[in-house]
Amino acid sequence: MSAPLLEVEDLSVEYVTDTRTVRAVDRVSFTVGEGEVFGLAGESGCGKSTIANAILRLLRDPAVIAGGSIRFRGTDVLAFDHERLREFRWRQVAMVFQSAMNSLNPVMTIGDQIADIYTTHDRISKKEALRRSGDLLDLVGIPHDRLRSYPHQLSGGMRQRVVIAMATALRPPLLIMDEPTTALDVVVQQEIMAQIKDLQRELGFAVLFITHDMSLMVELSDRMAVMYAGRFVETARAQAVFEEPSHPYTRALMNAFPPMSGPRTRLRGLGEGVRFRDIPDLVSVGPGHWAAPIADDVPSSEASR
């Protein structure tokens, strides 16, 4: 296997204020291979989005990268100067944000917004940029005449397609998708996920996929990690995590979603019962499967939740 596309090693991110420091991401390591879909799962506030923002160097005060390294195709992302960063963002790594539907500019037509990417990054004429924008809409199954539409004239699903198309505009080898379908209803969500899979097959980009929905993640991802309170608690092939979850938090997260099959039983949410502290480093529990060991003094009832 060649060198991975993205290597994150011992990454720590802290939010520093005058009175206290909060460690949002704590010594996290993972790799994403070329063309691979890597999933990051966890509840709100566990640090998933902070990792995404750290990779694109989008963190602002008071967030600081407190340690570790991020390498993209072998080069140190954290050492990039302003110029390199401009080149890196969107051309190498593009991001589909949470509530991406609202990330379109309401006073610009769809066509102008997409063309902007090409005129800015590729320095081509407006006319050529608009032609390419049309091709891009083709890719996500939106008719050309929508180029002249404003965002509010499109449905939520269509806007999301546009945003995803825009992320792939410069054919970046890595796409970060932060909850790309959270605001959509199930039918539209399914269409969007199918679209992402099709595009990925066609264009071959890798995806860092962030969501709290374990079912969705297992369906889409090759490998995945479960995150809790800034730490990874488990990482493996997605199917392995689903079939043989090792860490109690992973099991709890899976049980936080009612299943579509099997008997109907009362579930326990991720209530106060499932709380962990001082999560140790991951150890191997199977081929390609790592999980944080559970200290012996954890009551057994906790493990069964």
Partner 1 sequence: MSAQTPVMSIRGLEKTFPIGGMLSRGRVRALGGVDLDIAPGEIVALVGESGSGKSTLARCLARLEQPSGGSLLFEGRDILRQEPRRASRSYRSAVQMIFQDPFGSLNPVHRVGHFLERPLRLHDAVSGRAELENAKRRLMEKVDLPAELLDRYPHELSGGQRQRIAIARALAVNPRLILADEPTSMLDVSVRIGVLNLMRTLCEQQGISMLYITHDLASARYLADRIVVMFAGEFVEGGEAMTLLAHPQHPYTRLLISAVPDPRRRGAFDPRERAQLRREVLKPVSCPFEGRSDTPCSRDAAVFHTVSESPEHWVRCGLYAPPSDAPGTALELPDTIEGATPA
**What's the CA gap between 48 and 33, in Å, rounded?**
19
> Does residue number 149 form part of the binding site for partner 1 (CB under 8 A)?
no
Other beta carbons within 10 angstroms of residue 237's beta carbon come to 17
Among 73, 84, 132, 197, binds partner 1 (CB under 8 A): 197
Q: Which of residues 125-144 bind partner 1 (CB under 8 A)?
A: 141-143
Applying the rule CB under 8 A, the residues between 233 and 272 that interact with partner 1 are 239, 242, 253, 255-261, 264, 266-271
Nearer to partner 1, 124 or 188 (CB): 188
Minimum CB distance to partner 1 smaller for 8 or for 158: 158
Q: If binding is defined by CB under 8 A, does position 190 make contact with partner 1?
A: yes
Going from the C-alpha of 110 to that of each of 101, 105, 196, the distances in angstroms are: 12, 9, 20
Structure token pair of residue 16: 């520093």
Q: How far is the CB of 77 from partner 1 (least distance, A)?
A: 30
Residue 208 makes CB contacts below 8 A (sequence gap 6+) with: 6, 32, 38, 40, 52, 55, 174, 175, 176, 177
- Site map 36..55 versus partner 1, x via CB under 8 A: -------xx-----------
CA distances from residue 8 to 52, 152, 236, 248 in whole angstroms, order as listed: 11, 38, 16, 25
What is the dihedral angle through the alpha carbons of 129, 133, 135, 138, rounded to the nearest 10 degrees?
-170
Task: Select the span of 25-33, 169-177, 211-219, 278-286 touching partner 1 (CB under 8 A).
Answer: 211-219
- Which of 214, 229, 240, 292 is in the footprint of partner 1 by CB under 8 A? 214
CB of 241 to partner 1, least distance (A): 9
Q: Which segment (63-71, 77-85, 117-125, 179-187) binds partner 1 by CB under 8 A?
A: 179-187
Using the rule CB under 8 A, is 177 a contact of partner 1? no
CB atoms within 10 A of CB 94: 23
Q: How far is the CB of 178 from partner 1 (least distance, A)?
A: 15
Is 155 an interacting residue with respect to partner 1 (CB under 8 A)?
A: yes
> Residue 158 or residue 169: which is nearer to partner 1 going by CB?
158
- Rounded least distance, CB 46 to partner 1, Å: 9
Residue 185 binds partner 1 (CB under 8 A): yes
Q: Smallest Cα–Cα separation from 231: which of 20, 45, 76? A: 45
Positions in the binding site for partner 1 (CB under 8 A): 43-44, 141-143, 155-158, 185-191, 193-195, 197-198, 212-216, 218-219, 239, 242, 253, 255-261, 264, 266-271
